[in-house]
């Protein structure tokens, strides 16, 4: 039995506004806990490790390594670890037809929400190029 569910919501940016503004520019701005040093990307309002709200900002390079992925040549999602972050993130793949294992944060298409990753192409030698 096939069913479809549609969810229409607005995520308030609030104190995470700098994070969302950076995403719209294709930049990775993470939260960093002032108490324990945990770095979260996407950013959080409370530390996932110690629960502190003493958070600041740190800019990450925006590069990531794919842990696992699913989808096809037209659409795909992946679980990735962004370089400099302490946790994994789910991303939409901007070029799912590429079999790359690494990529770079990309500006969302058509003002869509979420994290997007542009996968690096793989040359015959296995070197990654965009």
Q: In the chain, where are the structural domains located?
A: 14-129
Nearest residue to 97 via CA among 72, 118, 64: 72
Q: Are strands 63-71 and 88-93 parallel, antiparallel or unpaired?
A: unpaired
Total number of residues shown for the chain: 130
Backbone phi and psi for residue 15, each to the nearest 5 degrees, phi listed first:
-70, -10
pLDDT of residue 124: 55
- Site of tokens 């549609």: 6
pLDDT of residue 113: 73
**Residue-wise pLDDT tens digits, 21-41:** 999 899 999 999 999 999 999
Mean pLDDT in consecutive groups of 10 residues from the start of the chain, 130 residues: 78 87 93 97 95 97 97 90 95 93 90 87 58
Question: Are 102 and 120 within 8 A, CB to CB?
Answer: yes
pLDDT of residue 32: 98
């Amino acid at each position: 039995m096939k069913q479809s569910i549609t969810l229409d919501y607005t995520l308030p940016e609030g104190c995470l506004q700098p994070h969302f503004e950076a995403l719209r520019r294709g930049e990775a701005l993470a939260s960093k806990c002032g108490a324990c040093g945990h770095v979260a990307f996407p950013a959080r309002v409370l530390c996932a490790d110690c629960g502190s709200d003493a958070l600041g900002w740190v800019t990450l390079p925006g590069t990531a390594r794919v842990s696992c992925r699913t989808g096809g040549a037209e659409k795909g999602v992946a679980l990735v670890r962004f370089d400099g972050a302490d946790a994994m993130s789910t991303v939409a793949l901007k070029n799912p037809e590429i079999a790359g294992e690494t990529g770079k944060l990309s500006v969302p298409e058509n003002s869509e929400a979420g994290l997007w990753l542009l996968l690096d192409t793989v040359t015959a030698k296995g070197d990654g190029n965009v």
